[in-house]
Amino acid sequence: MIAGAAVVVATAVGVAGALGLGGDEADSDGAGGRSSGTTRVTRGTLTDETKIDGNLGHGPQVPVPVRAEGTVTWLPQPGDTVRRGQTLLRVDDRPVVLFYGSLPMYRGLAVDGARPADGPGDGGTDARGAGDGGARGDAGGPGADGGTTGGPGDGRSDGPGSGGGTAGGTGPGNGPAGGAGPLRGMDVKQFETNLAALGYGGFTVDDTYSSLTADAVERWQQDLGLPPTGTVGIRDVVYAPGPVRIAGTTVRVGAEAGGEPLTYTSTSRMVVVDAPAADMGWAKRGTEVTVDLPDGRSVKGRVSRIGTEAAPARGDAPEGAGATDGGAAENATVQVVVTFADQEALGRLEGGPVTVRYVSRERRNVLTVPVAALVALAEGGHGLELAGGAGDAGTGGPGRFVPVETGLFADGRVEVSGPGVREGMKVRIPR
């Protein structure tokens, strides 16, 4: 669950100082003096951080679309990690295997467009139902065209009036490119890349599903305990970007498969925050942030993803929140995901509330003093009381005040500027 956003400014700004009247009072460090210490004007970088609540976990849940039809016979447990070549679930005691890639499994894969046999009546890429055309004239239907050789009634036809031959026709319900040559496409290359990564070689990884690819598939199928057909159906493989962590299941063993029976998350830990939509200037890909963990440690992370839609802030009641009084629109949030290059830095924590700190403002190469060194001048504005001393010739004696312009307040210091201010100047800190 993502924690609600609670934004606070990390450095509360408050001017602490005495009222400087500009008189010629004696310089005293004793009990009667105005000052309890001195400091110097320094040059450096001043940064102001903003804090926002977030939640450490494994990121958003993603549903797993499964094309297999039948009875679920095995499911993984929430929290299990599934990697390339491993089983996501079993349907009719047949494994549905995880491969890595961005393309979904949208068609069956076979040599010369021959169709895998996944079930009757599927007029898609992997059915072997009535009326389908197939390789070698295996599954011609009424009205199907003949192949490149053989006439009507030849070959191994399964339906009345089908045309035989070495390749199926192109009648209604035929498989992909029946008899049109080798099956090609980026989905083939994606599949072959996974097959080779699992150690099944003997073919060239390209966009063509060749007989050598089919030979490797047969070896893979034997290792899975499946009949070595050399063809792959759309029910056999599910693609994900990489290893997945099972988040939950929506069905039970014994239920019908299909739809989205599983959800998964990344195996890497990350932080999700609901950032105020009105303050998204900091949220850019690659922005470095600091994450304070529940155990007191802090780690560095980077913004990796930024949502494209705003949502009402968690806890906002939709009733009565109209455009006239702000309501949900005013408090809308956008989801921001922070990832970590060093997962080990997170220790053993798997989840929990965290605080994300990011730099909201920064001033480089500026003069700064502690906020406590500022004094309010009688004529208005702020100033610094000079401390004087042997190392500060030309700055004037104690009791002299230099007016300054203030800039960024951050981390207990304040940016100061003005014609009478220089680096190294010694000033008093009033009590």
DSSP helix/strand/coil, 263: strand
pLDDT of residue 285: 93
β-pairing verdict for 81-82 and 87-91? unpaired
| More confident: 225 or 141 | 225
Contact 402, 392 (CB under 8 A): no
Q: What is the arithmetic mean of pLDDT over 54-58?
A: 95
pLDDT of residue 398: 55
Q: Report the pLDDT averaged over residues 322-329.
A: 54
pLDDT for 387-421, tens place per residue?
865 444 444 455 689 999 999 998 899 999 999 99
pLDDT at 16: 37
Banded model confidence at residue 328, pLDDT cuts 50, 70, 90: low
Integer-rounded Cα Rg, in Å, for the chain is 35
Assess whether pLDDT exceeds 90 at residue 324: no
Task: Return the pLDDT at 397.
Answer: 52
Residue 330 pLDDT: 76
Percent share of the chain, pLDDT over 70: 70
Confidence label for 259 from pLDDT (cuts 50, 70 and 90): confident
pLDDT grade for 326, boundaries at 50, 70 and 90? low
CA distance linking residue 88 with residue 42, whole number of Å:
61
CA distance 275 to 7: 9
Cα separation, 91 vs 89, in Å, equals: 7
**For residues 57-76, b (16+ Cβ closer than 10 Å) or e, as one string?**
bbbbebebebbbeeebeebb
Please list, in sequence order, all residues whose beta carbon lies within 8 angstroms of the beta carbon of residue 187, skipping any fewer than 6 positions away.
Answer: 103, 105, 106, 107, 109
pLDDT over 90, % of the chain: 58
Question: Which of the four pLDDT bands, split at 50, 70 and 90, describes residue 241?
Answer: very high
Question: Amino acid identity, residue 417?
Answer: S
Q: Which residue has the tokens 């299909």?
A: 258
Q: Which of 82-86, 279-283, 310-314, 349-353 has the lowest mean pLDDT?
A: 310-314
Query: Parallel, antiparallel, or unpaired: how do β-strands 42-57 and 375-377 relate?
Result: unpaired
The structure's pTM equals 0.61
Residue 36: per-residue pLDDT: 61
- For 410, counting Cβ atoms within 10 Å of its Cβ (0-12 exposed, 13-18 middle, 19+ buried), the class is buried
Does position 321 have pLDDT exceeding 60, yes or no?
no
**Candidate from 104-108, 138-142, 224-228 with smallest mean pLDDT:** 138-142
Output the pLDDT for position 327.
58
For all residues of the chain together, what is the average pLDDT? 78
Contact 210, 113 (CB under 8 A): no
